[in-house]
Amino acid sequence: MRLSNTFVKTLREAPKDETARNGALLVRAGYIHKEMAGIYDYLPLGLRVIENIKEIVRQELNKIGCEELLLTALQNPEPWEKTGRFSEKEVDVWFKTELASGGTLGLAPTHEEPITSLMKNYISSYKDLPRYVYQFQTKFRNELRAKSGILRGREFLMKDLYSFHATEEDLDSFYKEVEKAYMKIFEHLSLGDSTLEVFASGGMFSKYSHEFQTILPVGEDTIYYNKNRTVALNKEVLNEETMKDLGVKRDELEETSAAEVGNIFKLKLKYSEPLNLKFVDQDNVQKDVYMGCYGIGISRLMGVIAEKFADDKGLVWPEAVAPFKYYLVGIGEAGTRRAEELYQENQDAILYDDRDVRTGEKFADAELMGIPYRIVISDKSLEAGSLEITDRKTGDTKLVKTLD
Please report which helix (H) or strand (E) contains residue 48, including its range. helix 44-63
User: Does position 89 bind RNA by CB under 7 A?
Assistant: no
Provide Rg for the chain, Cα atoms: 24
291: amino acid identity, one letter: M
When the beta carbons of 206 and 344 are compared against RNA, the nearer one is 206
Which residue type does 202 have? G
CA-to-CA dists, residue 376 to 57, 131, 328, 366, 389, angstroms? 33, 50, 6, 11, 7
Contact partners, residue 275, CB within 8 Å, separation at least 6: 79, 82, 83, 113, 116, 117, 120
- In whole angstroms, how close is the CB of 236 to RNA at the nearest point? 8
Q: Does residue 360 belong to the site contacting RNA (CB under 7 A)?
A: yes
Q: Considering the rule CB under 7 A, would residue 363 count as an interface residue with RNA?
A: yes
Decide if residue 251 touches RNA (CB under 7 A): no
Can residue 249 be called a binding residue for RNA (CB under 7 A)? no
Give 287: exposed, middle or buried? Use CB within 10 Å, 0-12, 13-18, 19+.
Answer: middle
Dist. CA 230–CA 248, nearest whole Å: 10
Q: Which is nearer to RNA, 307 or 367 (CB)?
A: 367
Q: How far is the CB of 260 from RNA (least distance, A)?
A: 9
Q: Does 65 bind RNA (CB under 7 A)?
A: no
Q: Shortest distance, CB of residue 113 to RNA, whole angstroms?
A: 9
Decide: is 160 part of the binding site for RNA (CB under 7 A).
no
Is residue 268 within the footprint of RNA (CB under 7 A)?
no
Please report whether residue 110 would count as binding RNA according to CB under 7 A.
yes
* β-pair type (104-107, 131-140): unpaired
The reply to whether 147 sits near RNA by the rule CB under 7 A is yes
How are beta strands 67-68 and 131-140 bridged, if at all?
Answer: parallel
Across-strand partners of 328? 352, 375
**72 and 114 Cβ atoms separated by less than 8 Å:** yes
Ranges within 213-232 binding RNA (CB under 7 A): 220
| Residue among 244 and 398 whose Cβ is closer to RNA | 398
**Cβ distance to RNA smaller for residue 249 or 358:** 358
Interface of this chain with RNA, residues 300 to 339, rule: CB under 7 A: 313, 331-332, 335
Answer yes or no whether residue 143 interacts with RNA by CB under 7 A. yes
CB of 6 vs RNA, minimal distance in Å? 13
Closer residue to RNA in complex, CB, 61/146: 146
Question: Binding residue for RNA (CB under 7 A) from 5, 11, 63, 239?
Answer: 11
Q: What is the C-alpha separation between 395 and 390, in angstroms, rounded?
A: 6
Question: Does residue 368 touch RNA according to CB under 7 A?
Answer: yes
- In whole angstroms, give the CA distance from residue 318 to residue 228: 25
| 235 lies in the binding site for RNA (CB under 7 A) | no
Q: How far is the CB of 344 from RNA (least distance, A)?
A: 20
Nearest Cα neighbor of 336 from 360, 325, 323, 352 is: 352
CA 16/CA 12 separation, integer angstroms: 12
Q: Under the rule (CB under 7 A), what is the footprint of RNA?
A: 9-20, 36-38, 85, 90-93, 109-110, 139, 141, 143-148, 152, 203, 220, 313, 331-332, 335, 358-361, 363-365, 367-368, 376, 378-381, 388, 390, 397
